[in-house]
């Protein structure tokens, strides 16, 4: 059995010197060739074939200038009118978070109670319930009424009378109101095609599930309204307005695109589904 | 140690390993040289255009406002496609491009990370909020292609796709304002 | 628990095995040839496959950049 | 084994429980996305399942297995007691707490952001805190491994550290380097967003920091498999390790070249220019070197064993190998999957060619073949090899072990090979239900069903694996304990300090990280990219 007694080691640093030198040389060599090729050689060669000077090509390759080192950059078109002026920035979200519910309650009693009710249960079929609605959703719609991105015989003037802080307070107040929470009609009553549209959407028509945005906490767009326990007539009316394009304050035509592809009985089915209070 | 003098063995082992490492060097050189060759000759790069744009105000009035989206043909004949990748759809839902002609596609996201590829082509990019993604390509065959969002962007990710209509040169007729949209089929 | 060291002399790491040295010596005379051929063909296939996919599948799909 | 058995078993059972659970939901996902399961399950359930599959496989199975195996190597390879065993148990309970804190939000649908968290999508803060606890526990493990090696070197001046321990410490050093990226991202960007302290997040910086971790983490998972290749397979096959020096060099090359290459996961991203992408692609080409060295050195070691058992001619030694032994069979199957998976990898890293396959099923096939295939099958082989030592029991028969390994290999090949073809067709990732009415997607349907069949075989194999281990706890008492670690043809008597420690290599890694990641990260610190509004998933 060979005995494996360690023979006295020669001085380690002598043995180590070549390793230290050769490995550092190899690693730096590889790194340098990568930097040389990536930063200088490739951009310059590519730039020359398309008539981009070396300096611009290198800046583009490093990401200091926009564009590819090998392609001309297209011109940017002229600006135009947006569909909605609301831009969610962190200070706007701070305003919403710190809105004063008491002042909101006072403003609601002064302006909104006639149609939307004190706690957000609207008095008429044509007025939406606002109890438990998302604060951001109310804020955006009021702001759109104020800037004219959305028009309504009464709401435009009401919104114009409110300043930005008042809008945030009203939104926070209604958002805090508990929804009526009737016992939701069991799912059995909702036709399976509607439940599927809400839960799975329709990949054929490019329709995402309603729940992927409208269910609380789904992680969808900030201004997505809560639909549960909303008035069926109101949902139906708004979907039809989106479908016809008359209402166009949805950013990037999200709702206009979907509503245009829904059939009338799908629209009615969805309206009753959400009126029943399903989340 | 073993009866035959060990030095012969040990040096021979390291010698064979060195020969093998030489072969590995050829492997590395082969893969890198193909990359370098096509980068030099036909400018093959991953799509990289470091252009920052605030996602929060994208929809207001800049390049990616709603009415600027779609395919436009510039006065110099350059074809530029502008599209938005937003939670759970592309706008426009149908993108028309000419075949066998250089096209620049520009994408932006107002909300979360998206990504897209066009099936059967080399168009592939991530769309990151805060940046404009730009891809230059040429579509070699006419026909309808699929452009799905290939990066998880929320519960509606699976339903997020658009169609790309690659039109032959003669069908591709932009309007007077240089804009063209999909043919209804 | 079963003590792992079968013999106290050396640590388990150098525990001897039942390979006798002379057999090892003459095996070592021809050893890496088979491995070099097998691994070499595998790596060659990898490189050829890579170049084939690069030229025949990737490039024809149109420029990218 | 100096009573470290309970510690190792505790880690392994958490790892394999998470593994079995993740296999089950993985198979469910394969069913739901196939034409057979169209319209089954909601997107919420699907993406909850994808998150759970990713977290269980990538964070729980791996971290717990690697810690348990590290303790086993530290005790058996160095043949000394584990330093700081109380710390090891503390780390175990912290990691377990982390897992529980992560699983609860996932199960309640508050963390459907997948295991690679896509800010500005933000999950419940407990999801992230749980993961930070798991990583913190693994840092304790890294320190224990370093202490064990330094103490052994003090007690054995001049003697080379046993290869198994040298590789384990290389893995620990690499893990300390790489977790910096995800830790900074979570602690300074994602957790504040999840807590609501900030409303926006710099997505460009977040993705760059995560890419810092994203590649070296897969080598953190891979190194135990390579430890088995170098230090167990040669002994199991009845041969010697061809070259111990090459083994040390391989693990050093892993440490150096797996860290500055993370941006090959961002080749299609708009936040970096071509220059930094090319530098990291060139360095990525060198990350293939250690693997290519390994397949030669281990094949040569196998040739030694085969010829010693009477194999003749250029390839006669292959048949002469003892394929009935699980470690040998696993090594062979692992190399086959390493070949297919490696091919997928070099296509992924082809700079511009990444545009052909990024975020398609080609990438899914690559990492299932490399991690799910060649690494996890070696986890099985390691478990089979060391279970007798941990439990003091012997297998009645090794047939079920071989059957399990074959099932895993076949299932993995059947599942992943169609994905290469589908990936080239453009099949994209993470789809809850495909629109099979679309002609392009309809053509994929049959292949998705074939992959689903592979998934079922994998599930069967996973169940059999856990069954085999559980059965061993009741097996007959262990007879003689055969030595585990392989001897080299020339056991190293003295080794240069560079191959016995990590001082030099840490310096080189520092230089490489500064050169490769310096500018990409600094650009966001100097001039942050416009923040994206946080989208909370609850």
**Dihedral of CA A223/A227/A229/A232: which sign?**
positive
How, if at all, do strands D200-201 and D532-533 pair?
antiparallel
D121: closest chain B residue by CA: B112
Domain count, chain D: 1
Q: What does the pLDDT read at residue D435?
A: 92
User: Is-contact D43 B155, C-beta < 8 A?
Assistant: yes
**Residue D512 is nearest to which of A4, A27, A33, comparing CB atoms?**
A27
User: In B, which residues are within 8 Å of C50 by CB distance?
Assistant: 30-31, 34
Contacts of A259 (CB under 8 A, 6+ apart): A239, A240, A242, A243, A267
Distance separating alpha carbons of residues D268 and B114, to the nearest angstrom: 12
Distance separating alpha carbons of residues A129 and A118, to the nearest angstrom: 11
User: Is-contact D190 D119, C-beta < 8 A?
Assistant: yes
Q: What does the pLDDT read at residue D404?
A: 97
Q: What does the pLDDT read at residue A3?
A: 42
Measured from the Cβ of residue D180, the count of other Cβ atoms closer than 10 Å reads 14
- Whether residues B51 and A66 touch (CB distance < 8 A) is answered with yes
User: Is-contact C4 D8, C-beta < 8 A?
Assistant: no
- B15 and B98: one domain? no
Distance separating alpha carbons of residues D333 and D322, to the nearest angstrom: 14
CATH classification at residue B118: 2.60.40.420
Interval B154-171: pLDDT, tens: 999 999 999 999 999 899
Helices D203-214, D163-185: axis angle to 10 degrees equals: 170
Q: What dotted CATH number matches A87-180?
A: 1.10.760.10
Q: What does the pLDDT read at residue B2?
A: 44
How, if at all, do strands B79-86 and B102-108 pair?
parallel
Token readout for D452 is 């689903």
Q: What does the pLDDT read at residue C1?
A: 34
| Domain of residue B27, residue span | 1-45
User: In B, which residues are within 8 Å of A253 by CB distance?
Assistant: 66, 91
CATH classification at residue D452: 1.20.210.10
Interval D159-212: pLDDT, tens: 999 999 999 999 999 999 999 999 999 999 999 999 999 999 999 999 999 999
Distance separating alpha carbons of residues D11 and D2, to the nearest angstrom: 17
Distance separating alpha carbons of residues B166 and D450, to the nearest angstrom: 32
Residue D2 pLDDT class (50, 70, 90 cuts): low
User: Is-contact C65 B136, C-beta < 8 A?
Assistant: yes
B-contacting residues of A 221-240, CB under 8 Å? 221
Token readout for D213 is 């971790």
Q: Shortest CA distance to D444 belongs to which of D457, D458, D434, D456?
A: D434
Interval D132-163: pLDDT, tens: 999 999 999 999 999 999 999 999 998 999 99
Q: What does the pLDDT read at residue C15?
A: 65
Q: What does the pLDDT read at residue C21?
A: 83
User: In D, which residues are within 8 Å of A60 by CB distance?
Assistant: 273-274
Does residue B12 or residue B149 have the better pLDDT?
A: B149
| Domain of residue D19, residue span | 2-536
Q: Of the ranges A176-190, D293-307, D370-384, D509-523, which one carries the lowest mean pLDDT score?
A: A176-190
Give the domain ranges of chain A. Answer: 26-71, 87-180, 182-279
User: In B, which residues are within 8 Å of C60 by CB distance?
Assistant: 140
- B7 and B83: one domain? no
- B72 and B40: one domain? no
Secondary structure (3-state) at B148: strand
Give the domain ranges of chain C. Answer: 8-58
Contacts of D24 (CB under 8 A, 6+ apart): D459, D462
Q: What does the pLDDT read at residue D253?
A: 95
Does residue D402 or residue A124 have the better pLDDT?
A: D402
* D268 interfacial to chain C (CB closer than 8 Å): no
CATH topology of domain A182-279: Cytochrome Bc1 Complex; Chain D, domain 2 (1.10.760)
Interval D329-384: pLDDT, tens: 999 999 999 999 999 999 999 999 999 999 999 999 999 999 999 999 999 999 99
* B150 interfacial to chain D (CB closer than 8 Å): yes
Distance separating alpha carbons of residues D41 and D359, to the nearest angstrom: 23
| A153-181 exposure pattern, b = at least 16 Cβ within 10 A, e = fewer | eebeebbeebeeebbbbbbbbbbbbebee
DSSP notation for D287-329: HHHHHHHHHHHHHHHHHHHHHHTT--HHHHHHHHS-TTSHHHH
- ∠ CA A246-A248-A251, rounded to 5°: 165
Q: What does the pLDDT read at residue B4?
A: 53
Q: Shortest CA distance to A214 belongs to which of A126, A137, A131, A141?
A: A137
Q: What does the pLDDT read at residue C11?
A: 46
- Its pTM stands at 0.93
Q: What does the pLDDT read at residue B60?
A: 87
Domain count, chain B: 2
- Whether residues B124 and D358 touch (CB distance < 8 A) is answered with yes
Q: Is residue B59 part of a domain?
A: no
Percent of chain D at pLDDT > 70 equals: 100
Largest CA distance in chain C: 68
User: Is-contact D202 D531, C-beta < 8 A?
Assistant: yes
Q: Which chains touch B (3 or more CB pairs under 8 A)?
A: A, C, D
- B26 and B82: one domain? no
- B39 and B128: one domain? no
Q: Is the pLDDT of residue B3 over 60?
A: no
Token readout for D257 is 């070249």
Residue C22 pLDDT class (50, 70, 90 cuts): confident
- The Cα-based distances of B165 to A126, B92, B120, B147, D527 in angstroms read 42, 12, 13, 10, 39
Q: Is the pLDDT of residue C64 over 90?
A: no
Interval D411-436: pLDDT, tens: 999 999 999 999 999 999 999 989 99
Q: Is the pLDDT of residue D520 over 80?
A: yes
Q: Is residue B117 part of a domain?
A: yes
- B78 and B166: one domain? yes
Q: Is residue B152 part of a domain?
A: yes
Q: What does the pLDDT read at residue A172?
A: 93
Interval D80-134: pLDDT, tens: 999 999 999 999 999 999 999 999 999 999 999 999 989 999 999 999 999 999 9
Mean pLDDT of chain D: 94
Residue C4 pLDDT class (50, 70, 90 cuts): very low
pLDDT per position in chain A (279 positions), as tens? 344 444 444 455 556 788 888 889 999 999 999 999 999 999 999 999 888 999 999 999 999 999 888 888 887 776 667 888 899 998 999 999 999 999 999 999 998 998 998 888 888 888 999 988 999 999 999 999 999 899 999 999 999 999 889 999 999 999 988 876 555 554 457 788 999 999 999 988 989 999 999 988 888 999 999 998 888 899 999 999 999 999 999 999 999 999 999 999 999 999 988 887 776
């Amino acid at each position: 059995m060979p005995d494996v007694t360690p023979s006295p080691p020669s001085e380690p640093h002598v043995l180590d010197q070549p390793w230290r030198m050769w490995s550092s040389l190899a690693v730096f060599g590889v790194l340098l060739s990568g930097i040389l090729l990536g930063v200088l050689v490739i951009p310059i060669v590519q730039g020359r074939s398309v008539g981009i000077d070396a300096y611009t090509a290198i800046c583009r390759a490093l990401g200091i200038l926009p564009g590819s080192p090998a392609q001309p950059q297209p011109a940017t078109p002229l600006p135009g009118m947006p569909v909605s002026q609301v831009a969610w920035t962190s200070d706007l979200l701070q305003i919403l978070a710190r809105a004063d519910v008491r002042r909101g309650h006072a403003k609601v009693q002064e302006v909104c109670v006639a149609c939307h009710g004190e706690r957000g249960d609207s008095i008429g079929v044509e007025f939406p319930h606002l109890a438990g609605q998302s604060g951001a959703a109310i804020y955006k719609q009021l702001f759109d009424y104020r800037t004219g991105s959305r028009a309504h015989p009464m709401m435009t003037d009401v919104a114009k009378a409110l300043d930005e802080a008042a809008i945030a307070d009203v939104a926070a107040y209604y958002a805090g109101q508990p929804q009526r929470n009737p016992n939701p009609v069991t799912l059995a009553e909702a036709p399976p095609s509607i439940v599927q549209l809400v839960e799975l959407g329709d990949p054929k028509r490019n329709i995402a599930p309603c729940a992927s945005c409208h269910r609380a906490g789904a992680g969808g767009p900030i201004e997505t309204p809560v639909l549960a326990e909303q008035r069926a007539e109101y949902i139906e009316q708004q979907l039809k307005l989106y479908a016809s394009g008359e209402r166009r304050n949805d950013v990037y035509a999200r709702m206009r695109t979907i509503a245009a592809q829904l059939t009338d009985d799908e629209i009615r089915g969805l309206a009753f589904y959400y009126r029943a209070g399903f989340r | 140690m073993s009866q035959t003098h060990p030095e012969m063995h040990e040096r021979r082992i390291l010698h064979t390993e060195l020969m093998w490492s030489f072969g590995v060097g050829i492997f590395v050189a082969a893969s890198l040289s193909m990359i370098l060759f096509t980068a030099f000759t036909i400018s093959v790069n991953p799509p990289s255009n470091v252009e920052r744009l605030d996602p929060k105000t994208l929809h207001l009035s800049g390049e990616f406002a709603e009415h600027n989206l779609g395919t436009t043909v510039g006065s110099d004949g350059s074809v530029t496609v502008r599209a938005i990748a937003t939670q759970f759809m592309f706008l426009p839902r149908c993108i028309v491009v000419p075949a066998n002609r250089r096209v620049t596609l520009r994408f932006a996201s107002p909300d979360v990370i998206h990504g897209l590829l066009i099936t059967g082509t080399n168009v592939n990019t991530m769309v990151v909020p805060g940046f404009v993604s730009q891809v230059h390509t040429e579509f070699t065959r006419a026909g309808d292609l699929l452009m799905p969002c290939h990066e998880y962007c929320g519960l509606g990710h699976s339903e997020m796709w658009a169609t790309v209509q690659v039109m032959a040169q003669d069908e591709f007729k932009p309007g007077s304002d240089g804009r063209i949209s999909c043919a209804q089929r | 628990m079963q003590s792992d060291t079968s013999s106290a002399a050396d640590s388990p790491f150098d525990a001897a095995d039942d390979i006798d040295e002379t057999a090892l010596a003459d095996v070592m005379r021809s050893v890496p040839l088979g491995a070099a051929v097998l691994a070499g063909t595998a790596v060659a296939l990898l490189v050829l496959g890579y170049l084939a996919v690069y030229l025949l599948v990737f490039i024809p799909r149109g420029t990218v950049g | 084994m100096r009573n470290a058995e309970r510690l190792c078993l505790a880690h392994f059972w958490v790892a394999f429980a998470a593994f079995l659970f993740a296999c089950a939901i993985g198979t469910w996902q394969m069913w739901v996305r196939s034409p057979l399961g169209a319209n089954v399950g909601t997107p919420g359930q699907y993406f909850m399942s994808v998150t759970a599959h990713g977290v269980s496989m990538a964070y729980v199975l791996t971290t717990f297995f690697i810690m348990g195996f590290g303790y086993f190597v530290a005790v058996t390879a160095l043949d000394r007691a584990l330093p700081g065993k109380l710390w090891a148990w503390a780390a175990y309970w912290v990691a377990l707490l982390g897992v529980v804190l992560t699983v609860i939000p996932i199960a309640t649908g508050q963390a459907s952001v997948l295991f690679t968290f896509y800010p500005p999508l933000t999950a419940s803060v407990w999801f992230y805190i749980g993961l930070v606890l798991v990583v913190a526990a693994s840092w304790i493990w890294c320190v224990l491994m370093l202490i064990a090696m330094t103490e052994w070197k003090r007690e054995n001046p001049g003697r080379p550290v046993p290869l198994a321990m040298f590789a384990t410490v290389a893995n620990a050093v690499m893990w300390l380097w790489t977790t910096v990226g995800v830790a900074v991202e979570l602690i300074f960007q994602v957790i504040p967003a999840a807590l609501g302290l900030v409303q926006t997040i710099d997505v460009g910086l977040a993705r760059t920091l995560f890419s810092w971790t994203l590649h070296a983490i897969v080598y953190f998972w891979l190194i135990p498999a390579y430890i088995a290749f170098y230090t167990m397979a040669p002994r199991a096959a009845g041969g010697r390790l061809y070259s111990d020096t090459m083994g040390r060099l391989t693990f050093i090359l892993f440490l150096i070249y797996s860290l500055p290459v993370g941006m090959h996961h961002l080749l299609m991203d708009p936040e970096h220019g071509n220059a930094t992408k090319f530098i990291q692609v060139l360095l990525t080409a060198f990350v293939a070197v250690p693997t290519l060295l390994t397949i030669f050195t281990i094949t040569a070691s196998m040739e030694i064993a085969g010829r010693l058992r009477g194999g003749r001619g250029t390839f006669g030694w292959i048949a002469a190998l003892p394929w009935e032994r699980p470690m040998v069979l696993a090594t062979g199957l692992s190399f086959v999957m390493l070949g297919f998976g490696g091919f997928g990898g070099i296509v992924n890293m082809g700079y511009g060619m990444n545009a052909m396959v990024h975020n398609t099923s080609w990438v899914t096939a690559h990492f299932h073949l490399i991690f799910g295939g060649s690494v996890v099958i070696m986890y099985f082989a390691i478990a089979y090899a060391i279970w007798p030592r941990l439990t003091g029991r012997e297998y009645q028969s090794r047939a079920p072990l071989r059957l399990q390994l074959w099932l895993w290999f076949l299932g993995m090949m059947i599942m992943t090979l169609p994905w290469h073809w589908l990936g080239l067709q453009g099949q994209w990732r993470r789809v809850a239900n495909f629109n099979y009415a679309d002609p392009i997607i309809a053509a994929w349907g049959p292949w998705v069903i074939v992959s689903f069949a592979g998934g079922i075989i994998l599930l069967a194999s996973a169940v059999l694996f856990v069954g085999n281990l559980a059965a061993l706890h009741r097996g007959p008492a262990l007879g003689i304990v055969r030595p585990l670690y392989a001897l080299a043809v020339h056991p190293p008597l003295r080794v240069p300090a560079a191959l016995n420690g990590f001082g030099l290599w840490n310096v080189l890694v520092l230089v490489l990280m500064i050169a490769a990641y310096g500018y990409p990260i600094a650009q966001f610190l100097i001039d942050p990219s416009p923040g994206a509004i946080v989208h909370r998933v609850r």
